[in-house]
Structure 1
Amino acid sequence: MSKLYVGNLPSDCNEAALRQLFQEHSLVCTTILVKRGGYAFIDCCDQSTADRAIDKLNGESQKPHR
């Protein structure tokens, strides 16, 4: 299991929005913990999934889906 730190999230971002973003990029994550202050921790099944998430989503600016 690999854990990712995701920062600079909009204040209205939630677990569902992050899960949908990961699914849109075919990235499987098991647990998403969104914290106040605009950050989250995401558990990926393995390191290769975490690396792909970083490659695909690093720097992406997107409004959360509702």
Structure 2
Amino acid sequence: MSENIQTIRFLNNNLGEIIMTGAQFAEWAQQKIDACNVFNEIETSKVIVEIMKKYFSLAEESNEEEQ
């Protein structure tokens, strides 16, 4: 799929479904990393886990839609 039309869906707590393009997700993830204190290993690992959880939840949802 084209980057312009590819969407990423994930649940944001109880706020409902959030839909983003791949570029928007990448920008969001970069902002999270940029705001993180990389010298604090615990904070950094929590941010990485948050990003990865959202990323992998998208892959699972995408697989469910294909079946």
What's the TM-score once normalised by structure 1's chain length? 0.32
Which structure carries more strand by proportion? 1
Rg larger in 1 or in 2?
Answer: 2
Higher relative contact order (CA 8 A, sep 6+): 1
| TM-score between the two structures when normalised by the length of structure 2 | 0.31
